Amino acid sequence: MPSENPESENRKPLVGIAMGSESDWPTMEAAAMMLRQFDVPFEARVLSAHRTPEAMTAYAELAAERGLKVIIAGAGGAAHLPGMLAASTILPVIGVPVATRHLKGLDSLLSIVQMPGGVPVATVAIGQAKNAALLAVQVLATADERLANALVDYKTELKRFVSDMDERVRREEVGSRK
């Protein structure tokens, strides 16, 4: 698990990717890959809300001072990490419910999304760290024209991808009627 993306060695991370355990990395790696695609510097950390609450709180409290703008936090099971980070920082926190063996991530989703008033956590679908990274890029793009333009290009490519699929399916459907 890398601590930050090598392409941004000389730049301070703007996004923190936090997870409760190294076993969450296979899910959270999709966030790292998407941030790399947009050339957004990030760091990745294991911070347990239950096993290392002091380290987790210190990370959240110092995140803005260190230059982070958004925290993406993934956790499974009781999944308190995103909410506890949100309780300890003014930065936006995006929660990623990590799938579990027993409840397939539903427990994680409910734990993250059901936050009390005053402690918001933006929450993406179970296992969708890629969408969490895209949301982080969108937040950053409000003050970064390069990222805003890159998002426009990304969405244009998504439209092209769907259009190409539509064309292939339509050809097949039309071809099968003959």
CATH code (residue 58): 3.40.50.1970
Residue 164, domain member (yes or no) = yes
State the CB neighbour count (10 A cutoff) for residue 120: 13
Is the pLDDT at 162 greater than 90? The verdict is yes
Q: What is the chain's mean pLDDT, rounded?
A: 94
Whether residue 49 is found in the same domain as residue 101: yes
Per the structure, the complete domain to which residue 76 belongs is given by 6-143
82 to 1, 67, 94: CA distances (angstroms): 19, 19, 7
Kindly state whether residue 165 falls inside one of the protein's structural domains: yes
Same domain, 150 and 136: no
pLDDT of 172: 87
Residues 109 and 157 in one domain: no
Same domain, 73 and 154: no
Q: Is residue 1 part of a domain?
A: no
The verdict on 46 and 92 lying in the same domain is yes
pLDDT of 123-149, one tens digit each? 999 999 999 999 999 999 999 999 999
Same domain (yes/no): 90, 157:
no
Q: Are residues 149 and 86 in the same domain?
A: no
Q: pLDDT digits over 25-77, tens only?
A: 999 999 999 999 999 999 999 999 999 999 999 999 999 999 999 999 999 99
Q: Are residues 73 and 134 in the same domain?
A: yes
Tokens of 172: 């097949």
5 burial level (CB within 10 Å; 0-12, 13-18, 19+)? buried
Tell me how many domains the chain contains.
Answer: 2
How far is the CA of 8 from the CAs of 5, 13, 23, 40, 74, in angstroms? 6, 8, 25, 8, 22
* 166 domain-assigned: yes
Write the burial class of residue 133 (CB in 10 Å: 0-12 exposed, 13-18 middle, 19+ buried).
buried
Residue 49 belongs to some domain of the structure: yes
108 and 92 in one domain?
yes
Q: Does residue 126 share a domain with residue 105?
A: yes
pTM of the predicted model as reported, rounded to 2 decimal places = 0.91
pLDDT tens string 65-76: 999 999 999 999
Residues 101 and 168 in one domain: no
Q: How long, in residues, is the chain?
A: 178
Same domain, 110 and 92: yes
Residue-level pLDDT at 10: 73
Identify whether the C-beta of residue 42 lies closer than 8 Å to the C-beta of residue 11: no
